Amino acid sequence: DAINVHSLLCKIESILPDKHTAIISFPYRAKRALDLFCAGEKLHAMDPDTFEKLSELTVLESEFSGQYHLRITFKETLGEEMRGLFLESSDAMPRIKITNCRMGNNRGRGILVSSSNETLIEGNRIYSQSCGISISGASKFYMEGGAVNDVKIKNNIFDDCSFRKSAAINICPHSIEDTRKTFYHKNILVTGNTFRLRGENIINAALVSGLYANDNTYTNIENPDIKIPIALLKNCENTVCDGFTI
């Protein structure tokens, strides 16, 4: 990927007798334990299947416990039912601004972003082999998280990207069943962009609440007779995609 911004999930493996200290693992073994957390930092505890946020924890102390584990003491009392939950820092989520860049001729994606803070992607030219923008998160394999809450994709040029049959903009969490009725990503605006593509699929989205696409232009560079692009939406709500076949 040209740009890849996401959180790193870890897992509560065990809770010590004091009920405030836990042993934390990094299940994806390519990532050894990193002492990521500072005193006072807020972490979300999340359901490992749905990735829903269940509670917020405050770090008092964090230290290594071997190569793949951390020993973290929290302000809050930990119940045994919290064993196995995923943890993600809420304080470390960045505001993202990617403007006036060129990215392409790469095997992977153009931009991957997953942050709950404001994200602006504007004025870029993207010509990657796979999708131009990926908003995914919720991966049990790579242990990457980050549900988005406010993303603006404005005035970019998607220039012959996604010719591996993927959508130009892919908004699908990895490890969540897309048949569920609760939503993961929220509030995504796609406006004023130019799409020059070989295929018709501009947007592929699942489990999104609040997806708005308008004032975009589309050219099919292989078949100019195709004038209307496609937005594939699965279990989304509050969506407006002007000028698309849905």
Amino acid 164: pLDDT: 67
As beta bridge partners, residue 144 has 8, 139
User: Between β-strands 21-25 and 69-74, what pairing exists: parallel, antiparallel or unpaired?
Assistant: antiparallel
What mean pLDDT is predicted for residues 130-135? 92
Residue 219: closest CA among 159, 133, 146: 159
Q: What is the mean pLDDT of residues 21-48?
A: 88
Q: Pick 45 or 182 by higher pLDDT.
A: 45
DSSP SS3 for 243: coil
**Strands 157-159 and 194-197, how do they pair?**
parallel
Q: What is the DSSP string of 162-187?
A: -TTS--SEEE--SSS-TTSSS-SEEE
In one-letter notation, the amino acid at residue 83 is: R
Mean pLDDT, to the nearest integer, of 80-98? 94
Q: Which residues contact 162 (CB under 8 A, 6 or more apart)?
A: 128, 129, 130, 131, 132, 168, 197, 199, 201
Mean pLDDT of 223-239: 90
Residue 242 in 3-state DSSP?
A: coil
**In Å, how far are 45, 64, 184, 199 from 207, measured between CA atoms?**
20, 36, 6, 23
Answer whether 166's CB lies under 8 Å from 130's CB: yes
58 with 17: CB under 8 angstroms? no
Cα dist. 62→36, 118, 128, 214 in Å? 8, 28, 40, 46
Q: Measured between alpha carbons, how far is 19 from 15 in angstroms, rounded to an integer?
A: 6
pTM of the model: 0.90
Distance in angstroms (rounded) separating the CA atoms of residues 78 and 80? 7
| 55 band by pLDDT with thresholds 50, 70 and 90 | very high
Q: What's the confidence (pLDDT) of residue 139? A: 84
Residue-wise pLDDT tens digits, 196-208? 998 888 999 999 9
Residue 211: pLDDT band with limits 50, 70, 90: very high
